[in-house]
């Protein structure tokens, strides 16, 4: 059994042996304390991570479709090849995160902080409210997909 503590005072008990590759769909993890956890390959569709502490967390290859990550702390997190389709990342802090090959199709990134993040191969093509996100010193390459008319260099991103 795994117990996830939250700053709301509610603990979530899961009848699983490990978080890696687990099914965490539709859970209420508001302000969860998961810094440094290994959630690689986990399915977390529609899970509420609003205000969660996910710094240095391994979320690579995870499915966060329709998840709520508003104001989540994701600094230095590994989100390589994660699926964030239709996720809500409003005011999330993704600074220094590895977002290579991440799928952000239709994700709402209003006031999200992508400073110093790695965006090589990321799909940001249909992100909502991308003009309000902070991309200063974020690294991208030719395989990164941006919305038509969006100039990441003008927003402070660096092409390599």
Query: What pLDDT does 126 receive?
Result: 97
- In tens, the pLDDT along 93-121 reads 999 999 999 999 999 999 999 999 999 99
How many domains does the chain divide into?
1
Of 28, 74, 29, 25, nearest to 53 by C-alpha is: 74
Query: What pLDDT does 58 receive?
Result: 99
Give the rounded percent of residues in the chain with a pLDDT score beyond 90: 99
CATH number of the domain bearing residue 135: 2.160.20.80
Domain of residue 44, residue span? 1-159
Query: What pLDDT does 145 receive?
Result: 98
Query: What pLDDT does 118 receive?
Result: 99
pTM of the model: 0.96
Query: What pLDDT does 84 receive?
Result: 99
Q: What is the mean pLDDT of residues 144-157?
A: 97
Query: What pLDDT does 53 receive?
Result: 99
- In tens, the pLDDT along 33-76 reads 999 999 999 999 999 999 999 999 999 999 999 999 999 999 99
């Amino acid at each position: 059994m795994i117990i996830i503590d939250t700053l709301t005072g509610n603990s979530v008990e899961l009848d699983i042996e490990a978080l890696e590759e687990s099914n965490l769909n539709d859970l209420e993890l508001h302000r969860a304390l998961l810094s440094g956890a290994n959630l690689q390959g986990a399915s977390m569709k529609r899970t509420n991570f609003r205000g969660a502490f996910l710094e240095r967390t391994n979320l690579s290859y995870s499915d966060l479709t329709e998840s709520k990550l508003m104001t989540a702390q994701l600094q230095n997190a590994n989100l390589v090849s994660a699926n964030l389709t239709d996720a809500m990342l409003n005011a999330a802090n993704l600074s220094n995160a590895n977002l290579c090959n991440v799928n952000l199709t239709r994700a709402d990134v209003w006031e999200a902080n992508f400073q110093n993040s790695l965006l090589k191969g990321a799909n940001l093509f249909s992100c909502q409210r991308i003009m309000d996100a902070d991309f200063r010193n974020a690294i991208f390459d030719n395989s990164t997909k941006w919305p038509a008319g969006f100039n990441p260099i003008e927003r402070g991103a660096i092409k390599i």
